[in-house]
Structure 1
Amino acid sequence: MSSTSPRPRSFWDDAVVYQLYVRSFADSDGDGVGDLGGVIGRLEHIAGLGADAIWLNPCYPSPQADHGYDIADYHGVNPEYGSLETFDRLVAEAHDRGLRILMDLVPNHCSDRHPWFAAALAAGPGSPERARFVFRDGRGDEPPNNWQSVFGGPAWTRVTEADGTPGQWYLHLFTREQPDFDWRNPQVLAYFDDVLRFWFDRGVDGFRIDVCHGLVKDAALRDWDPAEGSYNAYSWNRPEVHDIFRRWHALAAGYGPERDLLLVGEVWVPDPADLDRYLRPDELHQAFSFDLLVQPWEARALRAAIGRATARTAVHGAPAAWTLANHDVHRAVTRYGIVRPEPAPASNDAFAALMRPRGEVDADLGERRARAALLLVLALPGSVFLYQGEELGLPEVQDLPDEARQDPVFHRTGGREKGRDGCRVPLPWTADAPAFGFGTGTPWLPQPAWFARYAADVQEKDDKSTLHLYRRAVALRRARGLGRPGPVEWLETGEDAVLAFRRGALVCAVNTGSTPFTAPAAWGEVVLGSAAADGVPGDAAAWFVSEPDGE
């Protein structure tokens, strides 16, 4: 299958999207929790980076069992974060600055406080209310099957019926507070049609869709053979999910071309080629290229991942959605800075070891590599999603005290897996202010003292800081049209540790080794480098231009 006709240009063809974890971005009311007012107050920071859009992690009403990914009401805003009126103001002020707003859609599961689930518990076995979720009788005193939760432990919880007796079991691929919807039920389909319309009608420009690959389960709920690994093909990546995305694609298209609405999927699959089915012309507009995110700092591995993603774009016409960090993975500085790896603990999450590797970290080395990786990803065609705090070069906070940790991954595994709190610690804005300028209250996760040297105000004064590098790189990416559709022309370097490719008149070279690399004179002059040195030193990247006035 190949793309036979040109697709109209969309903003996501080459957008830079700033991923914003609301809870940890900025606190405007002093309660220690980030909020939409804090986002509004810091919009200039995002616009100043050169971003085109903001992706908000879930800000719906939620008991916060999984910090917003357990949603009690899909049509509102969590009171901790503000109100619908605050949200509308954020959309308006963002649009005034040329920033689009993407929301996080969480369709695999809701909160156990959602009115539907409360009704399901009250209604009892065999009821239409329970049919909206995956309720089943057990095998005696055992769950209906052997499926495991991604966050640790069984994927089933047994309820107590109205008469006080042990009753049916419900499925939750994540925490017990997150019951899975049954997407074979037409009421669920209709409900989410309404959710999408509700937010599109408020001016939202698209959705990042959580756990795209998990919505539909094996109809027979068959046991999964553990010998096959931790990626359960009966619970993930079922063929029926594609009917849902075709439905949503049509819904978004119904708003007309002037709205330019985006559906981008979080799709974790063992074989990157499996992404192809999600990117057919009538399904998702994009899916994240996690293949690049999980690669080691090796030229050959990085090149291969880029090649797989760009080949997919050539087939389907769907621009790649690149990212090197998000709210679920260790920060890039820490991942790239591991110098003595440690074995990963056993996990129900097939990708945990790749997303959150362990080992001794050299933060300075990691920051050099993360800066180089930024130039790599910003030179590629497609859109780029930047996670908050990466522009400050923040490492993962790995030494949070156990009593401060809130991630259910930590608690459900008995501390075996540290979880995701370390990349969610509230941002440092001002080195000498309380809570580093995050807000006036005590932050919901403790900030380490060493955050001071990464604070935004410190980096503003340093022309060589990571913050300034981000601004220059995004600006030059736009000026050179690097994100626009087009080929990635690989260049021979004669060095196994160095990869290089041409995008129009610009060459991006990345040195993953320790020996400096001297570029051919034909590549032109360095217009931006990740390191303050000539050429391409070890663990660095540079952009060369042979035509000073552009392509």
Structure 2
Amino acid sequence: MTAVEPRTPADPATTTELAPAAAPWWTTAVVYQVYPRSFADSDGDGIGDLGGVRAKLDHLAELGVDAIWLSPVYPSPQHDNGYDIRDYQDIDPVFGSLEEFDALLAEAHERGIKIVMDLVVNHTSDEHPWFVESRSSTDNPKRDWYWWRQPGAAGAEPNGWGSAFSGPAWTLDETTGEYYLHLFAKQQPDLNWENPEVRQAVYSMMNWWLDRGVDGFRMDVINFIAKQLDLVSGPAAASDEGSPMGAQIHDYLQEMHREVFAGRTGAHLTVGEMPGVSIDDAVLFTDAARAEVDMIFQFEHVSLDQGVHKFDPLPRNLVALKRSLARWQEGLAETGWNSLYLNNHDQPRLVSRFGNDTEFRYESATLWALVLHLHRGTPYIYQGEEIGMTNVRFEGIEDYRDIESLNHYREAVEQFDQSPASVLAGVHAMGRDNARTPMQWDASAHAGFTTGTPWIAANPNFPEINVAADRAAERSVFRFYQQLIALRHDDPVVALGDFELLEPEHEKLYAFTRTLDDRVLLVLANASDTPLTLQGEWVPDDISGAELLLGNYAGDGAAALRPWEARLYRL
């Protein structure tokens, strides 16, 4: 096997000389998501903070990532762990201060790492001064900054939309006798982007952060800022099926680009989280000529193992997963760009969801790393993914903290009389707290996350699975990720090569090629617990003479792929 040496990350803007001159810096970049609340606690209060992130920057620099996506650190009542924002232009004291943020920004930049902030502007906290004014009276100047509607017949909600966190998406406010819209928790009222004053206030805030030195934004459910107006004001019988996204979204994003990014120097990143969008939508959103966003997060591939709802898990279907990812590769091949992810702060751990997190944890963690990072797009690593952290199975619902899981459990058990054990099984498999248990740094108390009592308990497997143990191990997930990141930096085929899926109907094999000019890379991955004989049309005739660039087993298994074995060849 040819060794790929990890490198100290340079300014990502300097890495594109290996690729066509027109390729943006983020085509060769890898982004690491930090969920600050659970990453590292520097002051012993049990909650991760900016000081903890600063203390671990060398870990990320050694990994080789180009940018950090920082989940919300703004002042917040924390009903949705920071995605309910009280003040867009400050730092919550639980995380630190603006001065601490500036220090983090400077220290990250010194290491060649960019900082991307989380932009949450579909909704605010109900404690935000804008909403406090808006709900004070029907004639307040900020009344139209949010979605207010009068009750329907017999006092019903204005339409049939449901909240993503259970229950209706409308709450009656006793002060004025009208309903306000919240697509998420009732403490997260939706901003009315139809009002130009709202848009200008958001753009002003974004410019404030960019002027401070941040390098871009991950935009939370950004396609929902545009609402289908006929449904918002529709009858109570209006359907809650499908997406609430309105056609104005393209106008809003293009205006945002003009007001915030146009004319700025520097290399900024904009990625929009967009539930429910199609490939055709994504082409429009990410077409550079349209100046909307650089890339999007879509949810098709992480919805395939869900039944009637999110907490109804289905067995993994490799054929469906391959088809889905390949469709997006093909759909955005000529115009646009893909974001590549298999887990984040809202999704279960990838090694538990898509692999075998017991007998073949190292092998399946590294297999999915190789498969994902060799697709065309910008890979996103979620904290702990680089050491193969797993899902957690807490004994009771009282050990969980996520509002989505808690609301689902209460509704399913109390209203629909489902058995607590069956509901808890769904939370075990799909709940967001799987990703939110403390980062596992070492085998000391609370996984080295805090010297205090953590806001949520560490996964009990932390004595065996942690950064210190993994980096010292002969087979290290961390070192495997280092090699993958270095490959993307250094080999233009990884960043820009065409993608072709091989054997789409095979139930165990994930195989594809990446091609740029006359250079070809081949990925062969056995996503199963049993060996897979190499045979058939999907094995090139010249594989015996191909160069093995990277693999997750020692040596070459020749005629068979071992359980959860992945290989990368240069043909």
Same fold, judged at TM 0.5 (above):
yes
Distance 2:127 2:499 in 1: 48
Q: Which amino acid aligns with 1:175?
A: A
Query: What corresponds to 2:144 in structure 1?
Result: 131
Work out whether 1:200 is the aligned partner of 2:214: no
How many angstroms does 1:49 deviate by? 1.1
Asked if the contact 1:530–1:542 (Cα under 8 Å) also holds between the matched residues in 2, the reply is: yes
Query: What corresponds to 1:353 in structure 2?
Result: none
Distance 2:551 2:88 in 1: 44
Query: What corresponds to 1:17 in structure 2?
Result: 31
Give the secondary-structure state (helix, strand or coil) at the position aligned to 1:484.
helix
Distance 1:307 1:70, change over 3 A: same
Distance 2:55 2:93 in 1: 18
Distance 1:149 1:216 in 2: 16
Match of 1:188 among 175, 198, 204: 198
Distance 2:181 2:551 in 1: 50
Match of 1:314 among 320, 323, 333: 333
Asked if the contact 1:15–1:382 (Cα under 8 Å) also holds between the matched residues in 2, the reply is: no
Asked if the contact 2:272–2:296 (Cα under 8 Å) also holds between the matched residues in 1, the reply is: yes
Q: Which amino acid aligns with 1:462?
A: A
Asked if the contact 1:267–1:287 (Cα under 8 Å) also holds between the matched residues in 2, the reply is: yes
Distance 1:292 1:534, change over 3 A: farther
Work out whether 1:153 is the aligned partner of 2:167: yes
Distance 2:110 2:380 in 1: 21
Query: What corresponds to 1:525 in structure 2?
Result: 547
How many angstroms does 1:252 deviate by? 4.2
Q: Which amino acid aligns with 1:47?
A: A
C-alpha deviations, 1:509-529, integer Å up to 9, x for none?
A: 122343324355623132221
Match of 2:135 among 121, 129, 136: 121
Q: Which amino acid aligns with 1:134?
A: W
- Deviates most, 509-518 or 69-78: 509-518
Distance 1:99 1:428 in 2: 22
Asked if the contact 1:383–1:483 (Cα under 8 Å) also holds between the matched residues in 2, the reply is: no
Give the secondary-structure state (helix, strand or coil) at the position aligned to 2:116.
strand
Asked if the contact 1:149–1:172 (Cα under 8 Å) also holds between the matched residues in 2, the reply is: yes
Asked if the contact 2:165–2:185 (Cα under 8 Å) also holds between the matched residues in 1, the reply is: yes
Distance 1:223 1:533 in 2: 65
Q: Which amino acid aligns with 1:335?
A: R
- Deviates most, 72-81 or 268-277: 268-277
Distance 1:35 1:172, change over 3 A: same
Distance 1:243 1:266, change over 3 A: same
Work out whether 1:278 is the aligned partner of 2:292: no
Q: Which amino acid aligns with 1:481?
A: P
Query: What corresponds to 1:331 in structure 2?
Result: 349
How many angstroms does 1:15 deviate by? 1.2
Distance 1:219 1:491 in 2: 44
Distance 1:538 1:488 in 2: 25
How many angstroms does 1:408 deviate by? 1.2
Work out whether 1:423 is the aligned partner of 2:423: no
Query: What corresponds to 2:246 in structure 1?
Result: 238
Distance 1:489 1:336, change over 3 A: closer
Match of 2:364 among 364, 369, 380: 369
Query: What corresponds to 2:125 in structure 1?
Result: 111
Distance 1:541 1:252, change over 3 A: farther
Map 1:420-499 to 2 at 5 A.
420-431=432-443, 433-491=444-502, 497-499=508-510
Distance 2:406 2:319 in 1: 37
Asked if the contact 1:289–1:309 (Cα under 8 Å) also holds between the matched residues in 2, the reply is: no
Distance 1:224 1:378, change over 3 A: farther
Work out whether 1:407 is the aligned partner of 2:402: yes
Q: Which amino acid aligns with 1:510?
A: A
How many angstroms does 1:7 deviate by? 8.4
Distance 2:452 2:139 in 1: 48
How many angstroms does 1:114 deviate by? 0.2
Give the secondary-structure state (helix, strand or coil) at the position aligned to 1:363.
coil
Asked if the contact 1:290–1:323 (Cα under 8 Å) also holds between the matched residues in 2, the reply is: no
Distance 1:364 1:198, change over 3 A: farther
Query: What corresponds to 2:109 in structure 1?
Result: 95
How many angstroms does 1:250 deviate by? 2.1
Distance 2:359 2:263 in 1: 48
C-alpha deviations, 1:457-484, integer Å up to 9, x for none?
A: 1111102022222122222332323442
Give the secondary-structure state (helix, strand or coil) at the position aligned to 2:250.
helix
Asked if the contact 1:298–1:497 (Cα under 8 Å) also holds between the matched residues in 2, the reply is: no
Distance 2:320 2:163 in 1: 30
Asked if the contact 1:400–1:446 (Cα under 8 Å) also holds between the matched residues in 2, the reply is: no
Instruction: Give 5+ residue unaligned stretches, structure 2.
Output: 1-19, 306-315, 413-425
- Deviates most, 458-467 or 534-543: 534-543
Give the secondary-structure state (helix, strand or coil) at the position aligned to 1:265.
strand
Asked if the contact 1:335–1:366 (Cα under 8 Å) also holds between the matched residues in 2, the reply is: no
Q: Which amino acid aligns with 2:287?
A: R
Asked if the contact 2:78–2:84 (Cα under 8 Å) also holds between the matched residues in 1, the reply is: yes
Distance 1:278 1:110, change over 3 A: same
Distance 1:77 1:56 in 2: 12
Q: Which amino acid aligns with 1:382?
A: G
Query: What corresponds to 1:379 in structure 2?
Result: 374
Give the secondary-structure state (helix, strand or coil) at the position aligned to 1:315.
coil
Q: Which amino acid aligns with 1:277?
A: L
Asked if the contact 1:12–1:319 (Cα under 8 Å) also holds between the matched residues in 2, the reply is: no
Query: What corresponds to 1:260 in structure 2?
Result: 267
Q: Which amino acid aligns with 1:312?
A: G
C-alpha deviations, 1:487-519, integer Å up to 9, x for none?
A: 124456996632322333421112234332435
Match of 1:290 among 265, 283, 299: 299
Query: What corresponds to 1:173 in structure 2?
Result: 183
C-alpha deviations, 1:56-99, integer Å up to 9, x for none?
A: 00111101000000000001111111111111111111111010
Q: Which amino acid aligns with 1:516?
A: L
C-alpha deviations, 1:376-435, integer Å up to 9, x for none?
A: 11112221001001111111113253223221112322444633112100111111x222
Distance 1:532 1:291, change over 3 A: farther
Distance 1:495 1:313, change over 3 A: closer
Work out whether 1:502 is the aligned partner of 2:513: yes
Asked if the contact 2:488–2:495 (Cα under 8 Å) also holds between the matched residues in 1, the reply is: no
Map 1:33-112 to 2 at 5 A.
33-112=47-126
Indicate the RMSD between aligned Cα atoms, in angstroms.
2.4
Distance 1:15 1:495, change over 3 A: same
Distance 1:533 1:313 in 2: 36
Distance 1:414 1:490, change over 3 A: closer
Work out whether 1:216 is the aligned partner of 2:231: no
Distance 1:334 1:299, change over 3 A: closer
Distance 2:132 2:554 in 1: 59
Map 1:335-350 to 2 at 5 A.
335-337=353-355
TM-score by length of 1: 0.86
Distance 1:520 1:182, change over 3 A: same
Instruction: Give 5+ residue unaligned stretches, structure 1.
Output: 1-5, 338-360, 547-551
Query: What corresponds to 1:345 in structure 2?
Result: none
Distance 1:495 1:127, change over 3 A: closer
Distance 1:488 1:232, change over 3 A: closer
How many angstroms does 1:212 deviate by? 1.7
TM-score by length of 2: 0.83
